[in-house]
Amino acid sequence: MTPPNVDRTPPYMQVVKQLRQQIVDGALKDGDKIPSVREISERWQISMATGHKVLATLRADGLVESIVGVGTIVRTKSNVHRSARDRFTRMLSTGRIYAPGEYAVITAAELAPAPAHIADTLGIEEGQQAVRRHRITNNEDGPVSASTSWFHADLAETVPALLSTDRIPGGTPSAIREATGREARSAEDRMTVGSADAQQAEELGIEVGSPVLIGRNVLRDADGEVIEAGEYVSGAGRWTLYEYELGERD
């Protein structure tokens, strides 16, 4: 019987996991060099063959590119979509929502009628007023995604920054926690594919009808109450990365 708390992940995947997380978090930025096979072998005490497997896995993920005479470098600007999960995880670990090279422009911060799916999530009536914050996330090449966060209207008084188009340092969950004591404890993401409507196409710089990734996310506090309901859209060709472990079978 395997003792509890023993990491049975293959050694090469343990290294891949660490490097992958650094890339998604932005600690390793687009254009940065990845350690060489020899450096990986020495740093993680694994064989050269296993080090080669690490880089091969990252290449298969589309996260890095090997260039003759240069080495292996990070390639993420055009092919990685950082999900709500990635951004919230980064916020908890670094206090920052966006990775280096990315920034958001808040285009709306207002009280607005909640559409049906948002009203259902927030537990209010369709058309009832809720706080709406809409933003475009960009990197050096242009728009990456468009997203909207919705909050209960009463937060407009306790967290007035929600109605300002200024960026909130540390993100909206941090501002809500500081003002109310309510802390995000769980989250869920749902994703599907669709076609860009006129507004999405304009914001992302793509053609109307282009394929897009559409997501919805919910943040809940310790009591299961919704803190934030979000929705986002990103253009085609970007990968969302998730890693999870499967438990033992009886």
pLDDT digits (tens, 9 = 90+) for 38-82: 999 999 999 999 999 999 888 888 888 888 888 898 887 777 767
- Report the CATH number at residue 205: 3.40.1410.10
Alpha helices in 32-154 (DSSP H): 37-44, 48-60, 84-94, 116-122
Number of domains composing the chain:
2
In a domain, 156, yes or no: yes
In a domain, 249, yes or no: no
Same domain, 151 and 92: yes
Running DSSP on this structure, what letter comes out for residue 125?
Answer: -
Cα atoms in the 13 Å half-sphere on the side-chain side of 62: 11
In a 3-state reduction of DSSP, which class is residue 90?
helix
Residue 193 — very low, low, confident or very high, per pLDDT cuts 50/70/90?
very high
Q: Is the pLDDT of residue 147 over 90?
A: yes
Q: Is the pLDDT of residue 151 over 60?
A: yes
In a domain, 247, yes or no: no
Same domain, 25 and 67: yes
Q: Is the pTM of this model over 0.95?
A: no
Same domain, 46 and 144: no
Same domain, 160 and 219: yes
Cα–Cα distance, 20 to 32 (Å, whole number): 13
Q: How confident is the model over 76-122, as pLDDT tens digits?
A: 777 776 777 777 776 666 767 777 778 889 999 999 999 999 999 99
- Report the CATH number at residue 33: 1.10.10.10
Sign of CA dihedral 192, 170, 106, 164: positive
In a domain, 143, yes or no: yes
Same domain, 175 and 63: no
Same domain, 55 and 105: no
Same domain, 127 and 44: no
Closest CA to 129 of 106, 162, 169: 162
Same domain, 163 and 66: no
In a domain, 186, yes or no: yes
Tokens of 139: 């990197």
In a 3-state reduction of DSSP, which class is residue 59?
helix
Scored b (16 or more CB within 10 A) or e, 224-240 reads eebbbbbbbbbbeebeb
Domain end point (choices 44, 74, 104): 74
What residues make up the domain containing 66?
A: 11-74
Scored b (16 or more CB within 10 A) or e, 179-202 reads eeebebeebebeeeeeebeeebbe
Domain end point (choices 41, 74, 107): 74
Residue pair 25/94 in contact (Cβ under 8 Å)? The answer is: yes
Same domain, 68 and 99: no
User: Which whole-number Å values give the CA distances from 145 to 133, 138, 188, 214, in the listed order?
Assistant: 14, 7, 19, 10
In a domain, 55, yes or no: yes
Same domain, 34 and 91: no
Q: How confident is the model over 195-242, as pLDDT tens digits?
A: 999 999 999 999 999 999 999 999 999 999 999 999 999 998 877 777
User: Which whole-number Å values give the CA distances from 6 to 1, 2, 117, in the listed order?
Assistant: 11, 7, 42
Cα–Cα distance, 32 to 47 (Å, whole number): 24
Same domain, 109 and 51: no
In a domain, 180, yes or no: yes
Domain end point (choices 32, 54, 74): 74
Three-state SS string over 129-180 comes to EEEEEEEEEEECCEEEEEEEEEEECCHHHHCHHHHCCCCCCCCHHHHHHHHH
Same domain, 38 and 144: no
Tokens of 55: 């880089």
In a domain, 164, yes or no: yes
User: Which whole-number Å values give the CA distances from 31 to 68, 129, 143, 184, in the listed order?
Assistant: 14, 44, 19, 33
Cα–Cα distance, 186 to 29 (Å, whole number): 28
